[in-house]
Every structure is written in structure tokens, then in C-alpha cells.
Structure 1
Amino acid sequence: MISKENKDLKNNTRKNIESMGSPTIATVPKDIFFVSIIGEIEGHNASPPNKKTTKYEHIIPQLLSAERDPKVKGILILLNTVGGDIEAGLALSEMINSMSKPTVSLVLGGGHSIGVPLATSADYSFIAPTASMTLHPIRMNGLVIGVPQTFRYFQKMQQRIFDFILRTSKITEDKLKDLMYDTDEIANDVGTVLIGKETVEVGVIDEVGGLKDSINKLQELFNE
């Protein structure tokens, strides 16, 4: 006769294999809170179902819980995003930047477009050697009214992103504008793609590193 404990163990093992592809799942210590932002950042409008997205209304409660949880000493933000909704991305960036607990970001595959302020919003930022980041002016989909007010609206939206990146990184305003409005880097587009150490050289990201470096830095920050 199989005991209840063995039945529960078998059931849990089967569920782990079905959902995660592994019979066991590691237990994560509670002192570091992990937040992953992947795919497209979804804002007020729902993305197509075939797109990998991160919903900002899911991340905000996680950050709030981490801020209020006395067991959590620091927050690690893992980024592999193509960008997405500007309002949602800036809202998350401001929330991360205003947290009282130490924060570290790590750009893994990419931190493009609105992913740039998300990466710089942390107290310290890392990028993997092969990861890339794209800096470009804002874009809008759908109907655009061709009037001067539309141009001024674009300028204000762009300035919000400019101001945040300048406030949370070491890049200069002139360098940031040069990279964003470069016409020779991307075919049929405006902007610049930076890979690994190039992001550190221009002052967008603090350091090239990986998961070990990010965790060590976060522990260093909250131990201080």
C-alpha cells in the first residue's frame, strides 16, 4: 500500500516534469526577490496571443510585495525584452528606481527600446557579454494626426525617456542623442545597437557580468 506522502511526492514530481521539464525544482532563498521582464512589455492594450509578453499590471504588485516583505533584502531584475508600451515601461522604471531596498538589473539577451530605462532604473546594472541594447526615438502604431501638436507630443514623450536615462545612468545628454538619432547604424531606421561592453563604454550600463556577478553585487549592497 502506497502512503499518502509517497502519493503526494509522485504527484508533485509529475507536475514538475509537466510544467518545468524537471522532476525537482530548487527552493529559492527569500532574501533576494527575482523579477523577470521578458518579451514585449504589455501596457493598456493587449498584445496578440502568439507574442511572448510581460504584463506591467503583474509586475507592479510583485514589486510592491517585495518592498513590503521584511524577509526580502534586495531585488534582482532580469531583462530580455524587445521593448513595448512606453507608459507601462516608464511606470515600472520609476517604481524600481523609487524602491528603498537595493536593486540590481541584468540584461541577458536584450534590453531594447523602453528596456533601456528599465535596465538603468536599478541601483546597479549588468549586461551579459553577448546581450544587446537598442537606443532609438519613440515610435507609435496606428493613426497619427499630421498636425504640429502631434510633433510636440512626440517631443514630450521622448524627453521623458531622455530625462529618466540621464538621471539613472552615466551617459551624457549629447552622447545619448547622438546614439538615438544615428542614421548609419540600423538599416531603414534611426538609432544604435550596442552589444555588451559597448553599453558600459558609453555609460548606459555599469558593468559587464552575469548572474553570479549580479547576485554578489546585490548581496554586497544589502550587506552595507
Structure 2
Amino acid sequence: MLTRRSFVALGAMAGLVACAAPQIDTPDVQVAAPIYPPLPDFYDAITTEPFPVPAIQEGSLAPEFWRQDVVNPWPKYAKGTIVIDPDAGFLHFIKSPDVAIRYGVSVGAAGFSWQGTARLQFRREWPRWKVPATMIERQPDLEPYSVANGGMDPGPGNPLGARALYLFQNGVDTLYRVHGDASPWELGMAVSSGCIRMLNQDVIDLYDRAIHGASVIVLPSLKPQGLEAVY
């Protein structure tokens, strides 16, 4: 559970955590691509949504990050609890004392990560992205998407993707989200501005299972710098 002091620190950096897509310089290094088995059908394109959800490209997603039932590592947690392991890059949804659904995620890069227990306050389909004022101070070009201006319209290009789960503590919005629009290559890595990013196919599945008021637990990193950060 976050202490009052750490929660205050969390609030101080709230302007940094607008869930924006990471800006990454990719090194010009040629590496042999791994060979993965064919993807499950649930990573096909989704055509029943208000906006297109493209299929995940074959060969782009390691099997360990596929959505799958696993033995529940936390059998004492209530059904619906969400547990995020930032070092492993996994999100678990507790189905029963015996079974959890495991999803691949990316997490906050160095300086943007957090840990503790929050409450799933509400969920949104194709949410608007409302950029905090403190982030606009650093990136004035985002001013059209401010809270005052109503944020960014949902759809392709919105960094929250197809769904968002909003995390609160003590009735206060933490400004951290579990949301979609992740790329397969980033799963298991620390790349985002604090939020937990999922594939759109997976966040839609999680959204349909999520329970209002459930606990969302982000485990502390056991690595000195957490996951390898990408900048």
C-alpha cells in the first residue's frame, strides 16, 4: 500500500503521467528475428468496434505474452483483483483461487513507474485522452488536448487505445491508467509514461471481465532499475 508520503510524491509527478506513447530512438542494429508459433485467433482483427482494431502481426508477439490461463500465484486475493508484476511484464486477473488470466503489458519507464494498491474506480470504452496542465507546460503542442479543451477524440492515434481502466486512491484520481494501444514489441519492457499498456485485443478482454471497485496491485520492482527502459 502506498504511504501518504509516497502518494504525495505521486501527485507531484502527476503531470508526467499522461499515458502518452513513448518517443523511442531505435538503434540501427540488425538482429535475427525470433520465430514464434502462429497466434491464437483472438489476436485477429476486431471488426465489431466503433474504430478498427487491426490484427496483431504474425511473428511479432512472444508466446509468454499471449493471453492465457495460468495457475493463480495469489490464491488469497478476491476474484477480480488485478495484479501487475512490472519486472515480468505481466498483468494477472484473478478468476478463482486456482486460476488467473495472464496478459503481457508494458510498464512505466525509469522515473515514471509506481507501486502500491489502487481501486478500479471506473472504465471507459474508447476513452478521450485529457492531457494534464503540467505536461502541457513541458509540451505546449499538446494544449489542444487539455482538460479545458475536452481532450483528444477517441480512435486511431489516441494513446489510450480501445479501453481504459482508471485507478484511484482514497477517492483521488492517481492519473495512472491500465489502457490499450500497446505494440507487441514493447510488452515486457519499461517504455510508457507511467501507465500500464496492453494490446487492444487484451484490454478489451480485460475490460469485459473487470469488476468495479476491485483492487489493482502493482508489485514493487525487485530489480535495481526495474525492467530495461527504452527511451
Q: What TM-score does the superposition give when structure 2 sets the normalisation length?
A: 0.22
Q: Which structure has the larger Rg over C-alpha atoms?
A: 1
The structure, 1 or 2, with the larger RCO (C-alpha pairs under 8 Å, 6+ apart) is 2
Structure having the larger proportion of residues in helix: 1
